Amino acid sequence: MEEENKKEETKIEETEVEKLTRERDEYLDGWKRAKADLSNYKKEESQRMEQFVKYSTQAVVADLVTVLDSFDLGLSVIKEDDPARKGVILIKSQLEDILKRYGLERIETKQGDAFDPALHEAVESVESEAPPGTIASELSPGYRLQGKVIRPARVNVTRSK
């Protein structure tokens, strides 16, 4: 009888050990999932913050682009021999340097380049001998901030005669 009790106790202990092992494995799996979820969350938040910081200056930079346009307009009416011209050019270049440090770059557009709607805004189509769909002239420059177009270049596009 004592032997039967020992066998029964052993069975109960084995059942309890199996139960505790299952619980342990469940808790361990849950902990691993929670740890992986937290790690993924941290990575996603880090990426969001990087994007936020990267584009947080976008509104201010976009507003300052219009100031660059005003400098160009002002320079177009100041005569080459006017001493004030040097000062205006200096101030404009200082502003451009500051904006470059924040990631602003001008979209290079030349006559004869292919029109790209992602970079250019067609203002007018003009008849030309050049192949249709190419840029005839740039009316105002376009700009990118950190690789993202904040203002497309305004251009005239050629069409066939």
- The pLDDT tens digits for 56-88 are 888 889 999 999 999 999 999 999 999 999 999
Give domain status of residue 77, yes or no: yes
Domain assignment present for 113: yes
CB within 8 A of 99, min separation 6: which ones?
61, 64, 65, 68
Residue 107: partners with Cβ closer than 8 Å, 6 or more residues away: 119, 120, 141, 142, 143, 144, 149, 152, 153
The enclosing domain of 84 has a CATH number of 2.30.22.10
pTM of the model: 0.67
Domain assignment present for 84: yes
Whether the pLDDT of residue 120 is over 90: the answer is yes
| 16-68 pLDDT per residue, tens | 888 889 999 999 999 999 999 999 999 999 999 988 887 788 888 999 999 99
CB under 8 A, 24+ apart: contacts of 43-51: none
- The total domain count for the chain is 1
Range of the domain at 121: 58-159
pLDDT band at 1 (very low <50, low <70, confident <90, very high): low
Q: What is the pLDDT of residue 15?
A: 85
Tokens 């440090």 belong to 101
Please say if the pLDDT value at position 117 is more than 90. yes
